[in-house]
Amino acid sequence: MSESGTSPKIQTTIETGDEDRRDAPLDARETVIETRDLDVYYGNEQALDGVSMEINEHDVTALIGPSGCGKSTFLRCINRMNDMIDVCRVEGDVEFAGKNVYDDDVDPVALRRKIGIVFQKPNPFPKSIRDNVAYGLKIQGYDGDVDERVEESLKRAALWDEVSGQLDSSGLELSGGQQQRLCIARAIAPDPEVILMDEPTSALDPVAASKIEDLIDDLAEEYTVIIVTHNMQQAARISDRTAVFLTGGQLVEYDDTAKIFEDPEEQRVEDYITGKFG
Amino acid sequence: MATEESTSDGLGRSTALRLQHLKGRLFEVALVAATLVGIVSLLALFAQISIDAFQPGSASPTWFLVYLGTLVAPTAAFTLYARRRPAVRETNAKAFAAVFGGLLLSFVTYAVVDSLSPYDVFTYVFFTSLPPAIVVAYDRTTDDRTFTGPAIPASIVVGLAVAALLYDVVRGPIGIAAEWIMYFGLVTVPAALLIGTLTASRRGRRSGVVAGGSVIVGGLAVAVASIVTGTNAAFPVVLFSAFVVPTGYVLWRSVRTDPEGRVGVAGPFVLLGGTLLGAAVVGQFGIQNPDTFLTPTLLLESWDGLRANNAGVYPQIVGSIIIVGFMAVLAFPVGIGAAIYLEEYAPDSGLRGRLATLLEINISNLAGVPSVVYGLLGLALFRRTLGFGTGIVFSAAGTLGLLILPIVIVSTQEALRAVPDALRQGSYGMGASRWQTLREVVLPEAIPGTLTGTILALARAIGETAPLVIIAVATTKYSPPSGLFSSATALPLQIFAASANAKPEFRHGVVPAAAVVLLILMLLMNATAIVIRNKYGREH
């Protein structure tokens, strides 16, 4: 599935001034997403600068970095959500399962059915809870048992016990944390392969956030999860692998989470993680 | 900074602070005054018009006593009773909407269809509803539904074309049937289908068929009863299908789902019963009625320019309704479509983006163009360029449609802009196409706002006079328009013409009475739209 044609080793590309590249064996899992020299511009402003990284199947990959460093831009490039922005220009490759998603014959609609996304602010549709979860099934013309899928997705999003009696009430009546879990249920209902999460807990209180964190852990068993977060502890707790972006849209370091947090290669990364910078 | 007057702890009121407060109070008073000036002068104007129209001074005191007893007292008592009981109030509101909405629907349907010829309306409605019905039926039976959605509007156009082609052939045979059968097909059959579908979705297919069937049987029974008693069956059939059936359904359902508020159902009947009872008592004892011009004659007869008591504006009322109705058919799809393109599809940058921005600016400007200028545009377009007859319904509706188009576009754009972008992103992120996002998420959210804009547009159009004068719509006409290409007439034009009548009873009696009718017409339209909007607002 993910024959990207590269070595099973994972490349860690460090784009520093002297451009040193090195290969480091990290894991034997298969690569599902690979970017090569990804540059993104908003008009004349460069948001990503030559980002190359490989993301493993069933990993939780955390993207951290200060505001404006391009981590959300990177996330949105993966399922082409940036297409909606007129001034956005993408150069370089983003390969999903060995196919460049920016090729002409790739339909972004089809791509997003494989790569779901959960946003920072919970955004349930002003529909019933059932219709929210069934949305993806409906637009994709799913002809199986919708109610069964809705129940299954809500259970997987750890929301079923709280809402099973009120599936017909509006999704907007739920609390913020429940709404976000509803959005996760909505994203997983059509059974995508990858779930992108753009700071999914930053609008939530700590209790609701910790529920989502537990959930992400479970989701990684079946899905590849890529999560943007501002919260260093969160990245350390839930992710297998962490990518650190710093200002200028550069990927500075990408490694096992434990390595990043305990013994980063780069001084800048250490400064950022320990709070000296950013 | 502390001044010499401030208390030692610096928390007291210093002179500077007092001045600040005074300035704030003065500003508030000025705002209240500004608000009151507008409202009070409007109220004074309406009071003046109403007094002229109703002439309350000419009624005997007994008349007031009778209506106090039959209408005002029971209504007040009922209102007081309902005030503390939210369930009753809610049911009451529903009952009001159902009863008066049903009555309005019946009268308007009958008046419009009657003036346009029931045979013609039936022919066109039949041919334009049959193809989409076939498409829907096909959609139910097949798995491949890709093309059935776009096929529905296409099939309506095809149906319309077929109806126009076959009109001469079909119209003869259809004309043999009795008139009431046309109304039966136009009103009773859709009512039966609607009730049947609603019941089927709640209580299963069998109940749906039974409910729909009983509406059909009921309609036939009403028709037979009317024929036996020797009256024209057409209006009873319409009243049964568009008033009794939907009202009965709504009331029955609200009583069943909310037994606590069941008393609320009585609300509209207290009002109607009180009015009828009062009228009966007044008639029985020969009590002096107010010398008003707001009479059944005004509403149901045609114009008489010599005797004010004999003057009626029925053709003008129906004419206005037909013009505004057809205008809505022309302008709303175009306006809403343009707004959706500009807001959802047009790019922000590049050549096409600049073009779209230019369009948007011009549309905003067009919303402020004087209506007389639109009249000239209508004259040039419909009379000179297209060569239509002078002052026909199509030109009038088209001209008013152009007039309200910018309003519809701008307000629909506002409504679309108010839909949070997060919802669009959420939908796109689920792998929805642009059209799916629009249909499933954006449009349902934008409907209440769009309706508010179209309310304003309708209200503006029904009162427009100047453009109709320019395209030479007849001021006085003795029959309502009989088709889209027959000569039009409208209520504001008649008011305008009558205000120049030499006889004072026209200027001081008929004109205000007709103005009240026009205002009521406008308020009814607004009320209809508000009811629809609130219903949507609740569901989402």
Q: Tell me: the pLDDT tens digits for B45-86?
A: 989 888 888 888 888 888 888 889 888 999 999 989 888 888
Q: Indicate whether B403 pLDDT > 60.
A: yes
| pLDDT recorded at residue B422 | 92
DSSP B69: I
Average pLDDT over residues B457-472: 89
CA A206, CA A60: separation in Å to the nearest integer?
20
Say yes or no: A119 contacts chain B, CB-CB below 8 A: yes
Residue pLDDT, tens place only, B173-212: 888 888 889 999 999 999 999 999 998 888 888 888 999 9
Of A274-278, B475-479, B491-495, the one with minimum mean pLDDT is A274-278
Is residue A192 a contact partner of residue A223, using CB atoms and an 8 Å limit?
Answer: yes
CA B514, CA B315: separation in Å to the nearest integer?
12
Residues 69-108, chain A, touching B (beta carbon < 8 A) = 79, 81, 84, 86-87
CA A153, CA B305: separation in Å to the nearest integer?
74
- Interchain pair B422, A123: CB under 8 A: yes
Is residue A138 a contact partner of residue A91, using CB atoms and an 8 Å limit?
Answer: no
* Neighbouring residues of B273: CB distance < 8 A, sequence distance ≥ 6: none
CA A194, CA B436: separation in Å to the nearest integer?
22
Residue pLDDT, tens place only, B407-444: 999 999 999 999 999 999 999 999 899 989 999 999 98
- Interchain pair A125, B432: CB under 8 A: no
Q: Which residues in chain B touch residue A86, judged by CB atoms under 8 angstroms apart?
A: 347-350, 353
| pLDDT recorded at residue B39 | 93
Residue pLDDT, tens place only, B310-324: 888 999 999 999 999
CA B269, CA B71: separation in Å to the nearest integer?
11
CA A82, CA A60: separation in Å to the nearest integer?
22
Paired strand residues for A93: A36
Is residue B419 a contact partner of residue B450, using CB atoms and an 8 Å limit?
Answer: no
What count of other Cβ atoms lies within 10 Å of the Cβ of residue B44? Answer: 10
| Strand A250-256 to A88-96 pairing | unpaired
Closest residue in chain A to residue B443, using alpha carbons only:
A126
- Comparing CA positions, the residue from A205, A231, A250, A237 lying closest to residue A73 is A250
Q: Indicate whether A225 pLDDT > 90.
A: yes
| pLDDT recorded at residue B24 | 94
CA B457, CA B406: separation in Å to the nearest integer?
9
| Residue environment code for A123-154, b if the CB has 16+ CB neighbours within 10 A, otherwise e | bbbbbbbbbbbbbbbbbbeeeeebeebbbbbb
| Strand A250-256 to A241-246 pairing | antiparallel
ipTM of the complex: 0.84
How big is the CA angle at A234 (ends A228 and A236), to the nearest 5 degrees?
Answer: 100
- Comparing CA positions, the residue from A222, A263, A258, A221 lying closest to residue A239 is A258
Say yes or no: A200 contacts chain B, CB-CB below 8 A: no
DSSP A255: E
From B186's Cα to the closest Cα of chain A, the distance in A is 34
Residue pLDDT, tens place only, A62-74: 999 888 888 899 9
CA A277, CA A156: separation in Å to the nearest integer?
38
Average pLDDT over residues B237-263: 87
Closest residue in chain B to residue A121, using alpha carbons only:
B422
Nearest to A117 among B143, B347, B429 (CB): B429
Q: Indicate whether B358 pLDDT > 80.
A: yes
- Interchain pair A126, B420: CB under 8 A: no
Q: Indicate whether A1 pLDDT > 50.
A: no
Closest residue in chain B to residue A142, using alpha carbons only:
B143
| pLDDT recorded at residue A22 | 32
Closest residue in chain B to residue A189, using alpha carbons only:
B430
User: pTM to 2 decimals?
Assistant: 0.83
Tokens describing residue B187 = 């009103």
Greater confidence (B377 vs B138) lies with B377
Say yes or no: A160 contacts chain B, CB-CB below 8 A: no
| pLDDT recorded at residue B304 | 85
| pLDDT recorded at residue B282 | 86
| pLDDT recorded at residue B256 | 84
Segment (H or E) for B229: helix B205-229
Using a 10 angstrom Cβ sphere, with 0-12 exposed, 13-18 middle and 19 or more buried, the burial of residue B247 is buried
Nearest to B347 among A86, A109, A113 (CB): A86
| pLDDT recorded at residue B478 | 87
| pLDDT recorded at residue B412 | 93
Say yes or no: A139 contacts chain B, CB-CB below 8 A: yes
Paired strand residues for A21: A13
| pLDDT recorded at residue B61 | 86
Q: At residue A195, what are phi and psi to the nearest 5 degrees?
A: -120, 120
Nearest to A112 among B349, B430, B444 (CB): B430
Sole residue written with tokens 């030499």 = B502
- Interchain pair B423, A123: CB under 8 A: yes
Q: Indicate whether B307 pLDDT > 50.
A: yes
Q: Which residues in chain B touch residue A112, judged by CB atoms under 8 angstroms apart?
A: 428-431
Interface test with B, best of A139, A182, A195, A198 (most B CBs within 10 A): A139
For a pLDDT cut of 70, what percent of chain A falls above it? 89
- Interchain pair B436, A140: CB under 8 A: no
Residue pLDDT, tens place only, A152-206: 999 988 899 999 889 989 999 999 889 999 999 999 999 999 999 999 988 888 8
Interface test with B, best of A80, A89, A111, A117 (most B CBs within 10 A): A117
Helix, strand, coil abundance in chain B, percent, nearest 5: 80, 0, 20
DSSP A170: B
Interface test with B, best of A135, A140, A169 (most B CBs within 10 A): A135
Nearest to B431 among A86, A140, A170 (CB): A140
| pLDDT recorded at residue B454 | 84
**What CA–CA distances, in Å, run from A231 to A5, A205, B115, B146, B308?**
34, 13, 72, 45, 82
Q: Indicate whether B460 pLDDT > 90.
A: no
Interface test with A, best of B423, B430, B437 (most A CBs within 10 A): B430
Tokens describing residue B45 = 């104007």
- Comparing CA positions, the residue from A257, A265, A272, A258 lying closest to residue A60 is A257
**Of the ranges A23-37, B67-81, B280-294, which is most confident?**
B67-81
| pLDDT recorded at residue A239 | 92
From B422's Cα to the closest Cα of chain A, the distance in A is 6
Q: How many CA atoms lie within 13 A of A49 on its CB side?
A: 18
Residues 233-272, chain A, touching B (beta carbon < 8 A) = none
Is residue B441 a contact partner of residue B424, using CB atoms and an 8 Å limit?
Answer: yes
DSSP sequence for A110-147 = HHHHHEEEE-SS----SSBHHHHHHHHHHHTT--S-HH
From B96's Cα to the closest Cα of chain A, the distance in A is 27
Say yes or no: A149 contacts chain B, CB-CB below 8 A: no
Is residue A228 a contact partner of residue A72, using CB atoms and an 8 Å limit?
Answer: yes
| Strand A45-56 to A60-64 pairing | unpaired
Instruction: Give the max Cα distance, chain B.
Output: 100
